[in-house]
Structure 1
Amino acid sequence: MNQFVPIQPKLLHKSSTDDVLLANPRPAVPAFLSAGRTSDDEISTLYDLNADGDHVMTFPDGANAAGSEFLAQLSVSPNARRRGVPYQILDEHLSHCFAPSDAGQAIAGFLDRYEIRRPSTSLQFVNTADHYFFYKKPHEHVPGIMLLEAARQSIYYQLYTYSKHALGNVTVSLSELQAKFHAYAELMYPIEIVVDDLTEGDDPAPRKVHYLTSFFQRGRLIAEIASWAPVIALDRFQRARNVNLLDQDNFAPLPVAPVVTVVTAADMSQSVVSLLEVGKDGCKTTCPSAFDGSVARIAIIFDRTLCFSAKAVPVEGSDTTMRWTFADVSYNELETLKEIIKRGFVAQKITSCDGRGGLR
C-alpha cells in the first residue's frame, strides 16, 4: 500500500497531521482461533488443529520464509493466542483468494463469525524521512525514538476503536514500557505495525490496558514495544497532575513560549506587557504604558487557546518592572494558570510573600 489513508490527529492525541505516524488502519487476522469453532470460508483454510485443540495459522499453501519465521516466533510467545498476523505475510495468500476490493469485507465477516470483538490492528508506519522532529539530521536507519512515538499513538487508536472509552473523556498515563529491537528499521521498505490487545479480562471499558505494538519490515519482526497504561478520566487526570504544581514557586516563560500578557486598568485602557515571572499568588511584568497605579486586571494568554484572568494589585514597581499580587482568583482560573505553566515555563528560585502578599 503506497497511499496513506490518514488518521485524524485528535484520535491520537495530536494537534497536527504533521505529528501523525500511523495510517491505513485495518483489522488483523488472529494467529489463533479458539477450540471448537469451524468455518468453511477461505480464510479459515489457513488454520490447522493443533494438539491442544486450537486452530493455529499454518499457511497450508506454503509459507514464505518470513511467514515461517513469524510462526516460529509465535511458538515461543507467551501471548501467542492474542497476536495478529501482519498483512505483509498474509497478503500473498489473500491475493489468491480475493480481489483486493473484496479482502476487507471477507476479513470483517470472518472476524464477526468467530466473534472476535477486540481484534489486532494493522497500521502503516508513516515515514517520509522529512519529519520536522525525527529527521533534523540525516539518519542511516529509522530513528528508534520514532518507533516509540508510533507505539504511543497506537495505544490511543486501539483504545478508542475497540473499547467503550470515548475520545475527549479519557487519557492514558503510561506506567510501564518494554521494548525489544531485533533489527534496524530501514527507510527503503515499508513498515507495518500490528497492535495486539493483551488486556486481561473482557471489560469493554478497562481501567488499565496492555498493548503489544510490533513492527514488521519485509514480513520480518524488527521491534516489539509492550505498553501498560491506566485509563483515567481526563478531568481527574488534570486535577491529579495539577494538585501540587505551583506551591510557592515562581515560573519564568521560556523564550519560545507563545505568551501574551495584557494589563487592563480601571479606566479600561490596555497595555501589552512582557511576563517575567508568575506564581499562584502573583506575577512580575514589565511596566504597563498607561496605568494610574490602582487595581487592574491581568490576562495571561497562551497560544491563543488558554487564558488566565485575575484582578491584580500593584505591590512594588520600578522604572521598568512591576510586581502584582492576584486577588479573588477562582479555582477554575487557578487550574487554567497551572495548565499554562506546564506548557512553557521553568521554575525560578522559591519566593516568599511580604506582608502585603507581594512576591520577593
Structure 2
Amino acid sequence: MTLVNPNIVHKNSIEDVLISTPIYLLKTKLSINEFNIFIQNNEEKIGNQLYKRKGDYYYLITIPSIIKKTETDAVAHLNINDFYQKKTNNDYEIKDFYIPIQVELELNNIYKNQYTIDINLRKNLKGIHVFSHILNIDIHNYFFYRKIHDHVPGIMLMETMRQATYYFCYTQLQIQLGDVSISISNMFLEFFSYFDSAYPIELFIIPTNSNYNLKPKHIDFTGYFYQNCYFKSKMRLQGGVMKMPIFQRLRNTKTPPSHDFKLSKKTDNTITLYNEKQEHLSAKLIQFKSESLLVEIEKNLSNDFKITQCSLPCLENKILLVKNFTDISENTILISLKDNKENHNLITKLIKYYSYQINKLSSI
C-alpha cells in the first residue's frame, strides 16, 4: 500500500499517515445532461469506455445496472439495498450515487463482466475526482494500538476522515497548502457496526451538499466507510479554511507573567548560557515564566561570567537575550529576559509545544 505524503495531511512522519493514495470513483449513473458535461471535460470516446446508455441514463459499465429478482442469491452476501433500490417488479436498479471500489470489484467478478475496472483511465480524467482510500490499519501502530484491540478504534477512524478531507481539499480545490490552514469545527459520527482489524477498510468522501466550491471559506464533507462490502460508518466533518496569519493569530494566547511552567518530561531541559565573549556553560532549566527562567547550575558562576544570552535545544538553539540575572542559591539563578519580540515568540513556542503550567491541578 502506498500512503499519501505526510505533509498534505498535516503530519511530519509517514508513521502517522492512515490513508492510501486515492482510488478514483465514478458515479453509478449519469443523466443525459451530466454525461454531456462529462464528455465536455473529457473525450466522448472516454465517456463511452466508462458508461453505456440505457433509456434516459448512462450507466457505469463495470457493474450491472439491474439485478433481477432471480439473481439475488448470487449477491446474497452483499447488502444490495445499500447500492440498489427495489423496483415494482422486484428487480433491483442501481442507485444514483458512488459505489466503493470493493463492491464494484465484487459485482464485476460475480457477473464476470467483460469490462474491467481501468484505474489508470480514471486517474487521467479531467475535473474534480471523488477519492476512495484504503485505510492503513496497522495493528502495531504506536498510538492507536498500544492496547491490543480486536476491532479498529473509533478515534482512529475519525483521524482517517480528517486526513481524507484534508487530502481532497489540497489536491482538488484551489487552496494551497502553506497559504491556508483547515480547522475542524464539528464532526458528526454514526457507527453501524464494529470494524475488524484484520480486513481492509475503504473510505470515500464527497461534499455533503454536492457543492464543489473551489475556493471555500468553509468545508462540509461526508465520509462513507465500508468493510467486506458492508456500509459500517458515516461521518460528517465541517470546518473553516483560513489564511495562515489569521490561523496563527487565533492560536495566540496571552500568558500572564505570574504563571509558572515546566518542560514536559520528554523535552531536553538542557540550557546553554553565554557571556559577552561567547564562552558558554551548560545548565538545567527547572521552571520558567514568560519573562524569566529559573536555572540550576553545577557550581557558582565566577564573578566575571556575566550571562548575556541563552539557548535551548527544543528551540533549535535560537538565542534568548538576557536582561539580567540573580543568584537565588548556591546552584540556582534567576534569569530575566529582555522584553523584545524575538524573546516573546520563542517563549510562546516553548509554552505551546513543550511545557505545562505548574498549578494546583498539576499537583493532584
TM-score range relative to shorter protein = 0.7 to 0.9
Matched, 1:168 2:178: yes
**Range 181-190 or range 240-249, more displaced:** 240-249
CA distance in 1, matches of 2:222, 2:184: 13
CA distance in 1, matches of 2:357, 2:54: 59
Offset of 1:295 from its aligned partner?
4.0
CA distance in 1, matches of 2:17, 2:191: 22
2:225/2:233 contact within 8 Å kept: yes
In structure 2, the partner of 1:27 is 24
Offset of 1:163 from its aligned partner?
1.1
Matched, 1:310 2:321: yes
In structure 2, the partner of 1:14 is 11
Q: How many residues are treated as equivalent by the alignment?
A: 327
Partner SS for 2:349 = helix
Residue among 92, 100, 113 paired with 1:86: 100
CA offsets 1:231-268 (integer angstroms, 9 cap, x no match): 12223212221142456422111111244421112232
Whichever residue aligns with residue 121 of structure 2, its letter is A
Q: Kindly report which structure 2 residues correspond to 1:326-345, keeping only aligned pairs within 5 A, or say none.
A: 326-330=337-341, 332-345=342-355
Whichever residue aligns with residue 105 of structure 2, its letter is D
TM-score by length of 2: 0.79
In structure 1, the partner of 2:51 is 44
Whichever residue aligns with residue 168 of structure 2, its letter is Q
Matched, 1:151 2:152: no
CA distance in 2, matches of 1:198, 1:192: 18
Q: Structure 1 residues 161, 252: closer, same or farther in 2, change over 3 A?
A: same
CA distance in 2, matches of 1:30, 1:285: 64
Offset of 1:217 from its aligned partner?
0.2
Q: Structure 1 residues 29, 157: closer, same or farther in 2, change over 3 A?
A: same
In structure 1, the partner of 2:122 is 107
**Range 233-242 or range 39-48, more displaced:** 39-48
2:59/2:65 contact within 8 Å kept: no
Offset of 1:336 from its aligned partner?
3.1
Offset of 1:345 from its aligned partner?
0.8
In structure 2, the partner of 1:226 is 236
CA offsets 1:147-183 (integer angstroms, 9 cap, x no match): 1111121121111111111122222111001010110
In structure 1, the partner of 2:249 is 239
CA distance in 2, matches of 1:8, 1:149: 15
CA distance in 2, matches of 1:246, 1:223: 44
In structure 2, the partner of 1:294 is 306
**Range 293-302 or range 214-223, more displaced:** 293-302
Offset of 1:278 from its aligned partner?
2.2
Partner SS for 1:178 = strand
Partner SS for 1:216 = strand
2:286/2:294 contact within 8 Å kept: yes
1:42/1:97 contact within 8 Å kept: no
Offset of 1:288 from its aligned partner?
6.4
5+ long unaligned stretches in structure 1 = 74-79, 351-360
- What is the identity percentage for the equivalent residue pairs of Structure 1 and Structure 2? 20
CA distance in 1, matches of 2:302, 2:108: 74
1:123/1:193 contact within 8 Å kept: yes
In structure 1, the partner of 2:42 is none
Q: Kindly report which structure 2 residues correspond to 1:59-98, keeping only aligned pairs within 5 A, or say none.
A: 59-60=64-65, 62=67, 64-65=75-76, 66=78, 68-71=80-83, 84-92=98-106, 96-98=113-115
Offset of 1:228 from its aligned partner?
0.4
Q: Structure 1 residues 323, 173: closer, same or farther in 2, change over 3 A?
A: same
Partner SS for 2:161 = helix
Whichever residue aligns with residue 43 of structure 1, its letter is L
Partner SS for 1:24 = coil
